[in-house]
């Protein structure tokens, strides 16, 4: 279902899932919930904390000194 959700399923799998969706209301509900979750996750803007950025920069500076 994840491949189907992200449109990464091959043609045969897509055909099978579409066929299953026609006859299974519970599966359609699960897919709808997955689509909603995906939409929410896509909308989230994540950024590293300033402390994480400083740690990465400090580590990178240490690599340059060697």
Q: Is 16 helix (H, G, I), strand (E, B) or coil?
A: helix
Tell me the C-alpha distance between 63 and 7, whole Å: 40
pLDDT for 4-58, tens place per residue? 999 999 999 999 999 999 999 999 999 999 999 999 998 988 899 999 999 999 9
Is the pTM higher than 0.85? The answer reads no
Q: Helix H segments across 1-49?
A: 2-5, 11-23, 25-43
pLDDT for 33-45, tens place per residue? 999 999 999 898 8
Contact 31, 1 (CB under 8 A): yes
The domains of the chain are located at: 2-65
């Amino acid at each position: 279902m994840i491949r189907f959700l992200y449109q990464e399923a091959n043609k045969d799998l897509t055909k099978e899932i579409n066929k299953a969706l026609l006859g299974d209301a519970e599966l359609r509900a699960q897919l709808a919930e997955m689509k909603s979750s995906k939409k929410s996750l896509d909308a989230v803007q994540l950024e590293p904390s300033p402390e994480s950025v400083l740690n990465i920069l400090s580590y990178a500076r240490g690599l340059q000194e060697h």
